[in-house]
Amino acid sequence: MSKPISSSDDAFLTGRLLIAMPAMSDPRFAQTVVFICAHTPEGAMGIVVNRPLEEPSFDDLLRQLDIEPVPPARRIRLCAGGPVDHGRGFVLHTADWTGENSLQVDDAHALTASLDVLKAIAEGNGPRQGFLALGYAGWGAGQLERELQENAWLSAPADEALVFDADHATKWRRALAKLGIDPLWLSSAAGRA
């Protein structure tokens, strides 16, 4: 079900989804689905994929950043990517397009925090799928591993629909269903056999 983490696994949970357990007490992460962009012994960084933002609009953001054309040839959605550094933007996107400053997460996903991806999208080019996240989720060394042991998260493989589609209201349940889990069956108590 959940991918075990071991110190010999260089990628850890990179490229996978974290699904908040129903008893998640932190309101910033209740019923969230987080795409993990990097997970190493030093910590982890991810983007929440199911918290849409209504404001600012993509067009307003392009105006603020002085990126042409406005209106753009293409638009992408904006999401609240997590509680850390809300003023910083990250485009999580398909790996069919990468720029000089893109982080190749895995074979299917990349993360770009530079304006070149927004310029490409505004011009009608860029990655096939993507969204702009304001902020991110971050964990220090060993913190995510502790939270997994405390039964705060489940891990699942990422797929394009869960990461990129606009049906935010159902992403959490669909992510759990991917593991064959109904949230009503889950307990918040961790146990030992």
Q: What is the pLDDT of residue 177?
A: 93
**Domain assignments of the chain as residue spans, ordered by start:** 16-87+130-185
**What SS3 class is residue 133?**
strand
Q: How far apart are CA 110 and CA 102, in angstroms?
A: 6
- Rounded mean pLDDT of the chain? 90
Q: What is the pLDDT of residue 132?
A: 98
What top-level class would CATH report for the domain 16-87+130-185?
Answer: alpha beta
Give start and end residues of each alpha helix (H) in the chain.
58-64, 115-122, 143-149, 160-164, 168-178
Q: What is the pLDDT of residue 11?
A: 55
Which tens digits make up the pLDDT trace of 115-174? 999 999 999 999 999 999 999 999 999 999 999 999 999 999 999 999 999 999 999 999
pTM, two decimal places: 0.89
Structural tokens at position 108:
């299917």
**What SS3 class is residue 120?**
helix
Q: Classify the C-alpha dihedral 94-99-102-107 as positive or negative.
A: positive
**Cβ(64)–Cβ(56) under 8 Å?**
yes
Tokens 């860029």 label which residue?
Answer: 126
Q: What is the pLDDT of residue 4?
A: 38
